[in-house]
Chain A
Amino acid sequence: MTRHLICAAALCLWTLASPAWAQTQSSTPDGLIKSVTQDVLESIRTDRSLQKGDLSRLNQLVDQRVMPVVNFSRMTALTVGVNWRKATPEQQERLMAAFRELLLLTYADALRQVQDTTVQVRPARYEAEDTDVVVRTFVLRTGKEPIQLDYRLQKTPEGWKIYDFNVLGLWLVDHYRAQFAQLVSAKGLDGLISALQAKNQTLRQGVQAKAGT
């Protein structure tokens, strides 16, 4: 089960690495996910340095392609929960930076494990006036159960934006929120930021060691 979770987490982060141009053909939430998924599967397949976990290359990709389709500030705020409102603007900035790096490093680590997959995007069921939609996808692998991977999108003036994803039933925002709340309650908001940074440090070393840099 853990492996399914991980592969799916990898794919889901992977899928977030979408090209900005994908948006042009993505006025619908499922259309967005579909074009993003197909494009990203293709670009990872053809880029050896990404498969190996080259961090600077990955950073570049995320900046260019992921950020345009993700409402990252909302995502960070939701994971921090009620404590977000108690944070100063400066703390919020540091939280977002640390959380962004956490996702990036998780992604880098997981990329090495995802191969030979196809993704099926289900048509989303929603009304024209809906501003919050879940898109379901299935990651298909030979001889294994498909991994269900869902995206939650919000309609914004700049188009649909992803702000949460669900891997095998677990919403990542919920998943982080429980653990972040524990850290804030024990050590305060600055303690949470330090914990995120310490985690990132460990992950960075691991990724770099494996990438052989």
Chain B
Amino acid sequence: MRLWGANLSVASGLRLGMLALMLGLSACASLPEGHQADARDPWERYNRAMFSFNTEVDDAVLRPVAKGYRDVVPEPLRDAISNFIGNLSDMITTIHHLLQGEAGKAGNAAARVFINSTVGILGLGDPASSVGYGKTKEDFGQTFGRWGAGPGPYFVIPLLGPSTVRDTAGTAFDFAADPFNLVFQVGSATEMGFQITRLVDRRASLLDGESTLDALSFDRYVSVRDAYLARRNQQISNGDVPAQSQDPVNGDSPK
């Protein structure tokens, strides 16, 4: 009970701190010239400020570390680490498919875990992909979405990046159901080591794409937001193509 109470007070302290941070950031964020308001992003001033804060942290810490990791650790080892982490996430994905009533996909994910944990030696390899069990990835945000929860406003989470109100709640559940926490003691050196490795692995996988993302962006904030929202929408609709919202040139073909 005492521990629970302590957790609560830490949580509310964090919440207060976050609120203060949000208010402070909102006050100083400004919108770019010619800015186009987006109905999905009512908190844009805060979000832009947090996005640039996150970018600064990334530039200072995470990206350099990920680059070093990629340069120092040989590719076969990095692949093995990615596969191991992926195998744990396949276990969670199996449960999510079940929660979403997708028995076939749950079976596929379960087969992946079985094959990769055995033939793939504890998940270090991914032979399942080669024999037709393709990878899928699900999380609580997607499951809530399948159950009918709308995304709510776009929200940039401090340090974690792009999200929505629904996906922020989903992320909290994802942390709670984290397979690392089930296998290792929470807060132990091993657990921390794995968490950091996972973070670096994830960041390193994004390095290659950055220059192309920049090529696609005239306002990086808008690019990242639109890409995130579109991707989540697609993941939840399981790939059904959303129609284009409108023909902006009034339905005419220009030439």
Contacts and interface: CB of A to CB of B under 8 A. Distances in A.
Interface of A: 1-7, 9-10, 71, 73-74, 77-78, 81-82, 84-85, 92, 102, 105-106, 109-110, 113, 134, 136, 140, 142-146, 148, 150, 152, 154, 164, 166, 168-171, 173-175, 177-187, 195, 199, 203, 206
A134 B234 CA distance: 15
A186 B33 contact: yes
Interface residues of B, number: 54
Nearest to B237: A169
A172 to B, nearest CB: 8
Nearest to B248: A81
A106 B32 contact: no
A3 to B, nearest CB: 4
A182 B227 contact: no
Pairs A-B, 10 closest by C-beta atoms = A186-B34, A169-B234, A6-B209, A185-B34, A170-B230, A81-B248, A77-B254, A169-B230, A186-B33, A143-B126
A9 B212 CA distance: 8
Contact of B241 (A150, A183, A199): A150
B241 A134 contact: yes
A143 B86 contact: yes
Contacts of A110: 212, 215
B206 A174 contact: no
A interface, over-half SS:
helix
Contact of B34 (A106, A134, A140, A182): A182
Contacts of B222: 178-179, 182
Interface of B: 32-36, 38, 79, 82-83, 86, 126, 129-130, 134-137, 205-206, 208-213, 215-219, 222-224, 226-228, 230-235, 239, 241-242, 244-245, 247-250, 253-255
Given A5-B231, A142-B130, A168-B234, A78 B247 contact: yes
A78 to B, nearest CB: 6
A77 B244 contact: no
Contact of B227 (A148, A173, A175, A180): A175
B218 A182 contact: yes
A145 B135 contact: yes
Contacts of B32: 182, 186
B135 A143 contact: yes
B223 to A, nearest CB: 7
Contacts of B255: 73-74, 77
A164 B253 CA distance: 13
B219 to A, nearest CB: 5
Contacts of A186: 32-34
A42 to B, nearest CB: 22
Contact of B209 (A3, A152, A183): A3
A178 B231 CA distance: 17
A109 B215 contact: yes
B239 A148 contact: yes
Nearest to A175: B226
Given A2-B209, A142-B126, A175-B227, 10 more contacts: A1-B227, A2-B224, A9-B212, A77-B249, A85-B250, A143-B83, A168-B231, A170-B230, A170-B231, A186-B33
Nearest to A164: B244
6 contacts: A2-B206, A4-B209, A5-B227, A5-B231, A171-B244, A182-B35
A6 B244 contact: no
Contacts of B208: 3, 6, 113
B230 A183 contact: no
B227 A170 contact: yes
B210 A2 contact: yes
Contact of B38 (A145, A178, A203): A178
